[in-house]
Amino acid sequence: MKHLLIIFLTLSLNSVFAYDGDKHVNLGDKATELKEEGRSRDIHPSLSEIRKMHPAFLMHKRDKTLRQGVRSKRNSLKQCVDCHSATKNDEYVPVNAPDQFCSTCHQKVGTSLDCFSCHRTTPEEDL
């Protein structure tokens, strides 16, 4: 019985982290541009690792930022929002809005998206 449970849990976890292409994700304006130029690897060396380890990376960065005071522009949540936010009718669409970058993946795996109860969902700069 234990073996069946282990197999079931393994298959369940693998399906949560399964990736079926970028069709369901609005990458955001800057991220789409970088991808089309073939420069997305400059920002994320391993996209599959980012997809699988995203929660762990955020927690690690949170701990370094809050507890150790380490702040870097490249690895900040602000930088993620700046790159992955989309525009519509010359206005930014929040990354956590339905059918946007963050919300689509979180909806797919059934997890809450509480980062943005404190953090900005759109870039600070004007269009």
**74, part of any domain:** yes
Q: Residue range 107-124: average pLDDT?
A: 85
**Which pLDDT score is estimated for 18?**
46
For residue 88, the cross-strand partners are: 91
pLDDT at 25: 66
Any bridge partners for residue 92, and if so which? 87
Domains identified in the chain, total number: 1
Give the per-residue pLDDT at 15: 47
φ/ψ region of 60 (left if φ > 0, alpha if ψ in -120 to 50, else beta) reads alpha
**Average pLDDT score over the chain:** 79
Asked if residue 23 has pLDDT above 80, the reply is no
Taking alpha carbons only, the member of 93, 97, 90, 92 closest to residue 113 is 97
User: Is position 122 within any domain?
Assistant: no
Which pTM was predicted? Answer: 0.68
Are 81 and 120 contacting, i.e. CB atoms less than 8 angstroms apart? yes
Q: Is residue 126 part of a domain?
A: no
Condensed to tens digits (0 to 9), the pLDDT of residues 28-64 reads: 888 888 888 988 888 877 878 877 888 888 888 888 8
- Domain extent for 102: 23-117
